[in-house]
Chain A
């Protein structure tokens, strides 16, 4: 047991709870707008909060635990790959940007599925997208919970199961209490902790390694490939690394947990501010976190479980009390991703399926109860899944990202920018995107040396265009009605 570390972590948890309780006042205050508030915070996000919540949601266990672990193994080539994510800082908000915000308000959309429903007017589009969100985000959540529990486990010395239990209870409590507003406000606190934490660990690591020059020569002495863009065994090819621009760069535009934030900003000034803040913070965190992973190698040689590199290096290079505060950063990252995913999946169940097709005339009180109930049940289910965790955290997480991107990227983008886009195009693109991703991911892991997300994204594009064009005459007739 490491008392200062644990004390700092618990202090952080208490702070998060305080914020959750504070936010719950808003949920209860606005009786009529419960759904808007619980799932969207009443579209009141300012620029700084918007930037932070996007980063905190997006920067997850994979960037804070898995990512630096892989960078430790692969060297600078993996940092290069991670830098594809700088694009997410501005691209998502610029491309969805004002048009998505305006259309979402016209449609009174609360979720991505709402948007698709009003844009394409198709029951099958709604059901298929709600279904993909539930399936894919479930696996993403499980991966995050494993990461959170592993982290608590390695910090406190508790067993994996009790660590998971503490983590689950903490997350569930504040999501259920506070809804979207609690999530984004705690995201902001967590985003700040992540940013400062990255800076402190990076500086500590450079000092412990005797300066960057020294660390680099240690790395070259061990294996010169570590300082090339090609990975420790030369396996990171330019095609493979570049294909991550689709997975973690531009494709992020289609992730429901990200798009929902692009409908929640208050006004265009907030969006402009978020663009600048977001680019700076996302770039800095990605660069810093992954560099820490590489720099940790000469300081802590021979770490067997890459996921443990982050906590170990923090405890190695920082005084214990500071390590405790700073290690709240990866915990923050994981919690803030999980809470958003939990909310997105429960909104898919409550808003997109239940309210659309099961009981459209449910009373406010009933919706409120169902929302809390579904959130809680989902949490318990994920807890069960995370009990016997799969080994490679980062791949599970990327698996979910790829599937959602393949399913949603064209329905979202074309829905915004192509007038002729219709439900036939959208549905065929979603079905082909998601299934081809599952198949390729399973049976043809790196087609033409690229990540398995690339081909499904191309295929779903082709299907979208063909599907929409072939059915143009139907579309016109329906719109005229």
Chain B
């Protein structure tokens, strides 16, 4: 079934392969992000406060979960975008820009 130009889901566009792959990368990144965030926050933060260690003045759980976790995601996103994301054209070849 071919896309009829008005309604329904357009199929068989080669660009969708790239798009699908990048969407999956997005989901994987969120899972890594969540695991890191949750693991450090509740792994280290569940101890009694007297046993906390501190890094740059912040509790270690917070430093690793929120600060390092954020920096890690910036690095991962940058790497993924630079090396795995492909440029595609968004416009239809036959109709050009729709301004």
Contact = CB atoms under 8 A, between A and B. Distances in A.
Contacts of B11: 419
A435 interface: no
A106 B62 CA distance: 45
Contacts of B6: 118
A90 B76 CA distance: 10
A86 B76 CA distance: 12
A415 B49 contact: no
Nearest to A283: B70
Contact of B8 (A119, A214, A417): A119
Q: Among the interface residues B9, B37, B69, which one has the most CB atoms of the partner chain A within 10 A?
A: B9
Q: Among the interface residues A30, A97, A267, which one has the most CB atoms of the partner chain B within 10 A?
A: A97
A305 to B, nearest CB: 26
Nearest to A216: B57
B8 A272 contact: no
Contacts of A94: 22-23, 25-26, 29
Contacts of A89: 73, 77
Interface in A58-94: 76, 79-80, 83-84, 86-87, 89-91, 93-94
Nearest to A271: B85
A283 B73 contact: yes
Contact of A105 (B5, B66, B87, B91): B91
Nearest to A290: B66
B62 A276 contact: no
B20 A80 contact: no
B90 A30 contact: no
A4 interface: no
Interface residues of A, number: 67
B54 A213 contact: yes
Contact of B77 (A224, A267, A276, A421): A276
Contacts of A93: 26
Nearest to B38: A242
A118 B37 CA distance: 39
A276 B78 contact: yes
Nearest to A284: B70
A25 interface: no
B61 A229 contact: yes
Contacts, number: 165
A30 B99 contact: yes
A163 B11 CA distance: 52
Interface string A355-376: 0000000000000000000000
Interface in B16-58: 16, 18-20, 22-23, 25-27, 29-30, 33-34, 37-38, 41-42, 45-46, 49, 52, 54, 56-58
A238 B38 CA distance: 8
B77 to A, nearest CB: 5
Contacts of A174: none
A268 B87 contact: yes
Contacts of A91: 26, 29-30
A279 B90 contact: no
B92 to A, nearest CB: 7
B67 A279 contact: no
Nearest to A122: B7
Given A238-B38, A275-B81, A211 B90 contact: no
A215 B57 contact: yes
A211 B81 contact: no
Nearest to A220: B49
B25 A216 contact: no
Interface in B69-83: 69-70, 73-74, 77-78, 81
Interface string A315-345: 0000000000000000000000000000000
Nearest to A416: B23
A225 B20 CA distance: 44
A33 B26 CA distance: 33
Given A118-B7, A238-B42, A275 B77 contact: yes
Q: Among the interface residues B34, B41, B57, which one has the most CB atoms of the partner chain A within 10 A?
A: B41
Interface in A215-270: 215-216, 220, 224-225, 227-230, 238, 242, 245, 249-250, 265, 267-269
Given A33-B99, A227-B52, 16 more contacts: A36-B98, A79-B66, A80-B41, A80-B66, A89-B77, A95-B27, A106-B5, A118-B6, A228-B45, A229-B42, A267-B89, A268-B85, A272-B81, A287-B66, A287-B67, A480-B1
21 contacts: A33-B99, A36-B99, A80-B41, A80-B65, A86-B33, A86-B69, A86-B70, A87-B33, A90-B29, A91-B29, A99-B16, A102-B16, A118-B7, A119-B9, A216-B54, A224-B49, A227-B62, A228-B49, A229-B46, A229-B65, A265-B90
